[in-house]
Amino acid sequence: MGEMLSTKEVARFLNVNEKMVYSLIAEKGLPASKVTGKWLFPLDLVKQWIETATENYPQSATDLPPYHGLILIAGSNDLLLDNLISFFNQKYEDHLAMFGFTGSMGGLKALRRNLCHIASSHLVADNEDYNFPFLNGQESALPAVVNFCQREQGLIVEKGNPWNIKSVKDLLNKDIRIVNRPLGTGTRALFDRELKRAGIDKDQIQGHANSVTKHLDIGLEILGGKASAGPGIKPVARQLGLDFIPICMERFDFLVSKDRFFDQGIQLFLGLLKESYFTEQARQLGGYDLSLSGDIVYPQAQSGPESSLPE
């Protein structure tokens, strides 16, 4: 376990008064745990929380090298995305796509810093819009946004749903322990928003602070009996024979800097979103809607990723 701060120490760290700390817990999701009636703040999670909320990043002083066959993708992970990357690497021997898991927010930050060609993200804002509210840049510098898929998010639960979980409110049962995703991931943001909407303090949920890296890890923890439920996507539940309680259908996008959008490898990769292989893989996994896949959702365009981008 990392360093824990008291209320006074975290107030000093954030340069606010102690009363403001309590407001940040309730209104902004400042990571905290109550132990024997006192609040404790994991320093590493507080730093993640600050980084996640950062806006107005300075423009990167470096550029990605000219395209030479390597596509770097960073952000949120997904079973269908894993299949797509493998298929791309098999089909195009002169090109190579590599993925780095950083969570949705990490993918956006990597794109801002020119550390990747494509960011994969499904961050939802309070106004129900996805990804756009988190870009925080001048319009001319904003990336092109191509829809990867829409997918079903919810709660993954044990086979047979022995605790009869129907919504996040049922997680208040003290005998139910969950497993969670890290801060900065779209799934964690969605889950915490659902708890807030239900009027639930996250500290009332057993295991809320216990996070694992990938969607599949959520399912494996539940399959192994280490947790009874966790936020995740329907394809994972289907693959592992677990039950699934739906919450919403979310939009999952690829964000590509405009100056790299027409690189050969980028266009070949995005072109796979319209191929029958992609459609069949999504059908087999289940929980996906491909009605927008391959369409430019920002800037607005009339057709798919081969359309010209506005100046």
Per-residue pLDDT tens digits for 213-260: 999 999 999 999 999 999 999 999 999 999 999 999 999 999 998 889
224 and 87 together in one domain:
yes
138 and 219 together in one domain:
yes
11 and 146 together in one domain:
no
Q: Is the pLDDT of residue 302 over 50?
A: no
In a domain, 14, yes or no: yes
75 and 45 together in one domain:
no
In a domain, 60, yes or no: no
Q: In Å, how far from its chain's centre is CA 190?
A: 9
38 and 85 together in one domain:
no
In whole numbers, what is the pLDDT of the chain averaged over residues? 88
Return the percentage of the chain with pLDDT > 90, whole number: 64
- Burial class of residue 302 in the structure, from the number of CB atoms within 10 Å of its CB (0-12 exposed, 13-18 middle, 19+ buried): exposed
Q: Is the pLDDT of residue 163 over 80?
A: yes
**pLDDT tier for residue 311 given thresholds of 50, 70 and 90:** very low
Contacts 24+ apart (CB under 8 A), 274-281: 274/304, 277/87, 278/80, 278/84, 278/87, 281/80, 281/83, 281/84, 281/87
* Model confidence, pTM: 0.80
Which residue did the predictor score with more confidence, 111 or 304? Answer: 111
**pLDDT tier for residue 293 given thresholds of 50, 70 and 90:** very high
Q: What is the pLDDT of residue 202?
A: 86
In a domain, 57, yes or no: no
Q: How many domains, the chain?
A: 2
Q: Is the pLDDT of residue 50 over 90?
A: no
What is the three-class DSSP state of 27? Answer: helix
Q: What is the pLDDT of residue 139?
A: 54
In a domain, 267, yes or no: yes
Q: Is the pLDDT of residue 3 over 90?
A: no
144 and 237 together in one domain:
yes
- The answer to whether 69 and 263 are in contact (CB under 8 A) is no
Q: What is the pLDDT of residue 37?
A: 81
**Residue 47: domain span:** 4-52
- The answer to whether 7 and 34 are in contact (CB under 8 A) is no
142 and 283 together in one domain:
yes
Q: Is the pLDDT of residue 307 over 50?
A: no
Provide the pairing of β-strand 70-75 with 96-101: parallel
**pLDDT tier for residue 281 given thresholds of 50, 70 and 90:** very high
pLDDT tens by residue, 165-197: 999 999 999 999 999 999 889 999 899 999 989
**pLDDT tier for residue 124 given thresholds of 50, 70 and 90:** confident
Q: What is the pLDDT of residue 305?
A: 39
